[in-house]
């Protein structure tokens, strides 16, 4: 099985980043210059090649808790951005992931908000072929679950996005429906139509959405691991500006997923 995403009118200054983002999630990319100087980027996803052997077929399976190995040492964060190289790392880190006790109440409040909005996330997820919690957790990280903000980055739906990625959605006119903008954000990264929604694959896609800047430094990303003992400090305080002493005050995606799992099993 294969799927394809086509992005048109990609500015020349953004085409390399768009290409890199698609390649990071396993796509074969072609770029064609348009008469107006912009580019059409075509990303092909070959399911037979890129689907992981741990693919999940149901929402229940993607929320199932796997056995943990508390005595196994955590591997160092690999600098590779190839899923095949780091899938096992994701699974080991997630198995060992726990909420910091002092953050447990705050995380539980966020999980309660996610569950309250689950019907809306699930309705979109069923149309796009992905678990509701993948969308909901991304919405928590990017827009604090505000349905008046773009899923891309939380910018107001009353205009196209201002911050990176700027100018989204490229089609349609503001104000945008949250569902339409969310579909654009997920399609932009090639997530629509994918069939592997294992925990490792979701963690990879969340990290790819936020960027691999932490991984390239050999550090656990707070986008995934903040509020767990896996993450201690260090974060990007602005685009391309890294502060090694700054500490994220936002709960990571992996921690939210782990708490959702525990609630599902309770």
Q: Backbone dihedral region of 229: left (phi > 0), alpha (psi from -120 to 50 degrees) or beta?
A: alpha
pLDDT of residue 89: 96
Q: Are residues 85 and 151 in the same domain?
A: yes
Name the residue among 176, 145, 163 with its Cα closest to residue 153: 163
> Using an 8 Å Cβ cutoff, are 234 and 219 in contact?
yes
Q: Are residues 138 and 100 in the same domain?
A: yes
Q: Are residues 229 and 119 in the same domain?
A: yes
What pTM value is reported for the model? 0.74
Q: Are residues 31 and 66 in the same domain?
A: no
Q: Are residues 45 and 162 in the same domain?
A: no
Other CB atoms within a 10 A radius of the CB of residue 130 amount to 23
Q: Range of 27's domain? A: 1-50
Q: Are residues 20 and 93 in the same domain?
A: no
- Distance linking the first and last C-alpha atoms of the chain: 36
Of 10 and 244, the one with more pLDDT: 244
pLDDT at residue 21 tops 70: no
Q: What CA–CA distance (Å, rounded) separates 149 from 190? A: 21
**Interior CA angle at 176 toward 175 and 182, to 5°?**
155
Q: Would you place residue 65 in the very low, low, confident or very high pLDDT band (cuts 50, 70, 90)?
A: very low
Q: Summarize pLDDT for 156-195 with one digit per residue, the tens.
A: 999 999 999 999 999 999 999 999 999 999 999 999 999 9
Name the residue among 78, 110, 125, 40 with its Cα closest to residue 258: 110
Q: Are residues 38 and 77 in the same domain?
A: no
Q: What CA–CA distance (Å, rounded) separates 91 from 114? A: 23
Number of domains in the chain: 2
Q: Are residues 29 and 68 in the same domain?
A: no
Q: What CA–CA distance (Å, rounded) separates 90 from 207? A: 11
Name the residue among 200, 197, 49 with its Cα closest to residue 128: 197
Max alpha carbon distance in the chain (Å)? 59
Q: Are residues 62 and 46 in the same domain?
A: no
Q: Are residues 35 and 64 in the same domain?
A: no
Q: Would you place residue 41 in the very low, low, confident or very high pLDDT band (cuts 50, 70, 90)?
A: confident
Name the residue among 61, 67, 70, 27 with its Cα closest to residue 45: 27
Q: Are residues 199 and 220 in the same domain?
A: yes
> Using an 8 Å Cβ cutoff, are 190 and 25 in contact?
yes
Q: Summarize pLDDT for 81-135 with one digit per residue, the tens.
A: 999 999 999 999 999 999 999 999 999 999 999 999 999 999 999 999 999 999 9
Q: Are residues 156 and 201 in the same domain?
A: yes
């Amino acid at each position: 099985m294969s799927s394809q995403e086509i992005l048109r009118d990609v500015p020349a200054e953004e085409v390399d980043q768009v290409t890199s983002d698609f390649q990071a999630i396993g796509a074969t990319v072609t770029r064609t210059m348009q008469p107006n100087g912009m580019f059409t980027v075509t990303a092909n996803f070959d399911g037979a090649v890129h689907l992981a052997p741990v693919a999940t077929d149901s929402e229940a399976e993607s929320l199932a808790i796997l056995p943990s190995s508390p005595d196994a040492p955590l591997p160092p964060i690999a600098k590779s951005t190839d899923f095949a190289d780091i899938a096992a790392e994701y699974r080991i880190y997630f198995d060992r992931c726990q909420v910091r006790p002092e953050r447990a109440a705050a995380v539980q409040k966020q999980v309660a908000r996610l569950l309250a909005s689950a019907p809306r996330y699930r309705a979109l997820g069923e149309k796009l072929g992905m678990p509701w919690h993948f969308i909901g957790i991304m919405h928590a990280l990017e827009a604090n679950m505000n349905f008046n903000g773009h899923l891309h980055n939380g910018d107001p739906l009353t205009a196209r996005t201002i911050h990176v990625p700027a100018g989204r959605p490229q089609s349609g006119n503001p104000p945008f429906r949250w569902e339409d903008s969310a579909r654009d954000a997920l399609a932009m990264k090639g997530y629509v139509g994918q069939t592997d929604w294992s925990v490792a694959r979701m963690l990879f896609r969340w990290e790819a959405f936020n960027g691999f800047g932490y991984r390239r430094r050999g550090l656990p990303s707070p986008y995934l691991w903040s509020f767990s003992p896996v993450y201690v400090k260090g974060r990007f305080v602005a685009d391309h500006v890294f502060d090694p002493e700054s500490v994220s005050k936002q709960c990571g995606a992996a921690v939210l997923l782990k708490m959702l799992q525990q609630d599902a099993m309770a």
